[in-house]
Amino acid sequence: MPFPQNTALLGRVWRRSLGGRTGRLYLATGVAALTVYEYDRHFQASAISRTLRAFWTIAVISADYKINFRSERGVEYLNGIHERASRRLLSCCRDNGGLFIKFGQSIAVQSALLPPPFRRELSTLYDNAPSSPIAQIIPVIERSFPGKSIEDLFIDFSPTAVASASVAQVHTARLCSDPTQRVAVKVQKPEIQLQIGWDLFALRTCARLIEYAFEIPIMWSVNEVEERLREELDFEREGNNSELASRDLSTLGDRQLRRGVYIPRVFWNETAKEVLTTEWVDGTSLVHPQQLTSEGWSNKDIMQRMVSLFAFQIFVTGNVHGDPHPGNILVRQHPENHRWKEPQLVLLDHGLY
């Protein structure tokens, strides 16, 4: 049908299509939806959209299990349900970002409790989370140090993040106070403070849905998770935890443990609640086991040091790193040994203790 050239005819068509109550309702609903969407995107960091996406994902996964999970259908069929659920959950966590990356990482480490597809799919969240552009990062740094610009604090601040995690990203730089010192500057992503209330509301609601649908008592853990997540957003607390762990090693650890584990130094003059500045350490993440093998590291040597470290924290000091996923542990050559390969673990991200 050709487009009407007569403006009067076009006006009559327009009024006829929207003249009734239904047409006006459609128009009002569309305008309201667009207004809410734009407000959410620009002023709430898409918190409402992310919450609705989480509700929808959990509802679909729950319905899939409720309708299709039957033990008599065989392992292969049940694994198909697990695969679908884990992919949906991964997609939700990636699309939402922020604390949902942290939620997904927490699920991925529960390999003893959940089917293998959940660990396999969600373990990809350990590395390469989306990063925020430098134009959004600089204001976070400058508001953390009133009266100072980023040029007053750092030299050669990298314009792109060298690592990005759930709630923060890391840039390299050198200190203005000591230009020879290369540092890692961990900056909280600007949208996190806007999103945290909605994200924790989504977590609590989804937990209630799962508990109701499957009679699994998990609500007891939500308050603990909420408390710990809020602690993790305080980078000054993380700096204190880091120094506590380092002090424990130097005063209570034996010589072998002190040589086998290193914790980067904190620079307090460049640290605040949303910015943590530490010594930069080169190493290979446990996220990349094939690279560790190609570099000639022994899995046995690495595991011996890891077991010794966490046994020391659990049974000797009681100050235990609460987020030991592979992305938070590096392996490097011991800097004082130039004769043979001697692995040293570098323990990062001390936000949860």
Instruction: Report pLDDT digits (tens) over 322-331.
Output: 989 888 999 9
pLDDT at 12: 63
Q: Are residues 202 and 263 in the same domain?
A: no
- The burial class, CB within 10 Å (0-12 / 13-18 / 19+), for 6 is exposed
Q: Are residues 275 and 339 in the same domain?
A: yes
- What is the residue-averaged pLDDT of the chain? 88
The average pLDDT across 18-28 equals 61
pLDDT exceeds cutoff 90 at 42: no
Residue 211 CA, distance from chain mean position: 24
- 180 contacts 265 by C-beta, under 8 angstroms: no
- 150 contacts 138 by C-beta, under 8 angstroms: yes
pLDDT exceeds cutoff 90 at 345: yes
Count the domains in the chain: 2
Q: Is residue 10 part of a domain?
A: no
Q: Is residue 336 part of a domain?
A: yes
Q: Are residues 147 and 225 in the same domain?
A: no
The average pLDDT across 70-99 equals 92
Q: Is residue 25 part of a domain?
A: no
Q: Are residues 282 and 257 in the same domain?
A: yes
Cβ–Cβ contacts within 10 Å for residue 25, how many?
11
Q: Are residues 339 and 260 in the same domain?
A: yes
Q: Are residues 216 and 117 in the same domain?
A: yes
- Look up the domain containing 303 and give its range: 134-190+234-347
Q: DSSP letter for 328, please.
A: G
Q: Are residues 330 and 226 in the same domain?
A: no
- Which of 206, 230, 254 terminates a domain? The answer is 230
Residues with catalytic function: 323
Q: What is the pTM of this model?
A: 0.78
pLDDT in tens, 178-236: 999 999 999 999 989 888 889 999 999 999 988 988 888 888 888 888 888 889 999 99
Residues whose CB is less than 8 angstroms from the CB of residue 222 and which lie 6 or more positions away in sequence, other chains included: 203, 204, 207
Q: Are residues 56 and 184 in the same domain?
A: no
- Which of 180, 201, 230 terminates a domain? The answer is 230
